[in-house]
Copies of this chain bind each other. A is one copy, B any other.
Amino acid sequence: MADTFAFQLLHSDGAARAGLIHTPRGTVRTPAFMPVGTQGALKAVHWHEVREAGADIVLGNTYHLMLRPGPERIAALGGLHRFINWPHPILTDSGGFQVMSLAELRKVDENGVVFRSHLDGAIFALTPERAIEIQALLGSDIAMQLDECLRLPAAPAEIARAAQLSLRWAERCKRAFEGAPPGRALFGIVQGGDDRRLRVESARALVDIGFHGYAIGGLAVGESQDVMLAMVEEVMPQLPADRPRYLMGVGTPEDLLAAVARGVDMFDCVLPTRNGRHGLAFTRQGPINLKNARHAEDPRPLDADSRCPAARDFSRAYLHHLVKANEPLAGMLLSLVNLFYYQDLMQGARNAIAAGNYADFQSMTREGWARGDIAPYVAPM
């Protein structure tokens, strides 16, 4: 494999793009959805199943892994890929988002962030330099700069302060990343909350610094989908066409469809596994809640035409029973259904962009969701 990181734009269809991200550990087809292996594991899914679902790349959470088992230990064990037995590309976040959402007693200053672990209260420090060091210890193929994430809504002055701090941290991350092994990539993160002007300024400043790819961070944190898409629309024209664009922490199937239309290449989200564990299946007919009593006697599978064995080989009645009985297998099967669905949605998008009919793909996909689930089962007399 080549020792270089490169984005190859294959097709454009309006603003939508299909391409390939080449890394030394393998190629990622874009638009790409990255399943999230928070603590070094997807919840209730085997790694070989993640691959079978069609994932080219997964995401690991620096915050969780720095607390337990610790990046130095993972490095001593040969890096994150070997640790989790996933030889394909891995993107790691910088820890900034989880520090905001999970840690206690955060103190952010120019140097970085000091926080208490949500596990045992131990005190940790995360600086731009340490975030890059941790990701190097993990051996991630794509590292993210440290940024400061805010929950929305937030005061304009606060949003501006955090965006400017994130830019200064971006420069420090870039410097800290010098000397990384060939083929490793570092992405900058556009911040600026729901402020269009700040978003544009942030994007331009990051492009001036220069990164292998650009992420939009600080969204999907409480704002409406309209605001999120407006920010994406503002930022996209500022980013160079020859670098991948990653919308962090997003989202629902509808979010993905709309963001791909606006030029986003990469996504990550815990929804497929989290919703799967709560009895919700994403399907071509829209989301289906297996807790619902309508499924209790339904011998039909979730989707007989699915590529996913879990969607084909079990009746809705069985899935309903497993959910009601709180069986671990419920979450295992429905997470798998959802991971397959997200990957198939991305494959559909890639095919449509290549064929120049992404608009049709969008409307057909939305029509399928709007049509809704098949009619309730009526047992024969």
Contacts and interface: CB of A to CB of B under 8 A. Distances in A.
* Interface bracket on A: 35 or more
A4 B68 CA distance: 56
22 contacts: A39-B325, A40-B318, A40-B321, A40-B322, A41-B327, A43-B328, A44-B329, A45-B329, A46-B329, A46-B332, A48-B309, A68-B324, A68-B325, A69-B296, A77-B297, A83-B317, A83-B318, A83-B321, A85-B314, A85-B318, A328-B331, A332-B332
A81 to B, nearest CB: 12
A73 interface: yes
Nearest to A317: B77
Given A40-B322, A69-B324, 18 more contacts: A40-B325, A40-B327, A41-B328, A43-B327, A44-B328, A45-B329, A46-B329, A46-B333, A48-B309, A68-B321, A68-B324, A69-B317, A73-B317, A77-B297, A77-B318, A83-B321, A328-B328, A328-B331
B73 A296 contact: yes
A76 interface: yes
A181 interface: no
A328 B331 CA distance: 10
A374 interface: no
A312 to B, nearest CB: 10
Contact of A42 (B39, B41, B73, B329): B329
A64 to B, nearest CB: 8
Chain B CB within 10 Å, residue with most, of A44, A77, A297, A329: A329
Interface in A150-164: none
A222 B77 CA distance: 43
Contacts of A332: 44, 46, 328, 332
A39 B46 CA distance: 22
A121 interface: no
B318 A84 contact: yes
A313 interface: yes
A29 to B, nearest CB: 25
Chain B CB within 10 Å, residue with most, of A69, A84, A322: A69
A23 interface: no
A1 interface: no
Contacts of A372: none
A41 B329 contact: yes
